[in-house]
């Protein structure tokens, strides 16, 4: 997957046990990834984000679904591993059943969630 530039990943289910999921995920570096759009509950997204490095990422969207509370320390770690993520705009939207976050570089490629 070294040529991958756009990655969209959408899940509409809750993952009950993060430990079971972590045993099946391997760390991956996506050197040419520019846009990453991700929708899931925070437990699943935290596990996935902890295993991805995307040094050239320019556009990032994440949407957390149907949760009253959540913790996202891996999101901060993921953004720290992304060397080129310099953004001039960040958008946070709070809806009744989801939270949406988008950050863009100076050249945004807006691809909204459905």
Helices vs. strands in the chain: H and E counts, helices first: 3, 7
Tokens representing 25 are 């995920």
Can you give the pLDDT at residue 106? 52
Question: What pLDDT does residue 103 have?
Answer: 81
SS3 68: coil
Q: What is the pLDDT of residues 46-83, one digit of tens each?
A: 888 888 999 888 888 888 877 667 778 888 888 888 87
Look at residue 105 in the predicted model and tell me its pLDDT.
Answer: 54
| Among candidate residues 109, 36, 114, the one with its CA nearest the CA of residue 75 | 36
Quote the pLDDT of residue 87.
73
């Amino acid at each position: 997957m070294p040529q991958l530039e756009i990655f969209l990943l959408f899940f509409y289910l809750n993952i009950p046990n993060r430990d079971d999921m972590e045993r099946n995920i391997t760390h991956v570096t996506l050197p040419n990834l520019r846009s990453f759009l991700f929708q899931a509950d925070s437990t699943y997204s935290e596990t996935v984000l902890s295993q991805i490095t995307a040094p050239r990422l320019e556009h990032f969207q994440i949407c957390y679904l149907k949760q009253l509370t959540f913790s996202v320390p891996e999101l901060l770690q993921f953004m720290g591993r992304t060397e080129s993520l310099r953004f001039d705009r960040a958008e946070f939207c709070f809806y009744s059943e989801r939270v949406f976050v988008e950050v863009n570089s100076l050249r945004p490629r807006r691809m909204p969630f459905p």
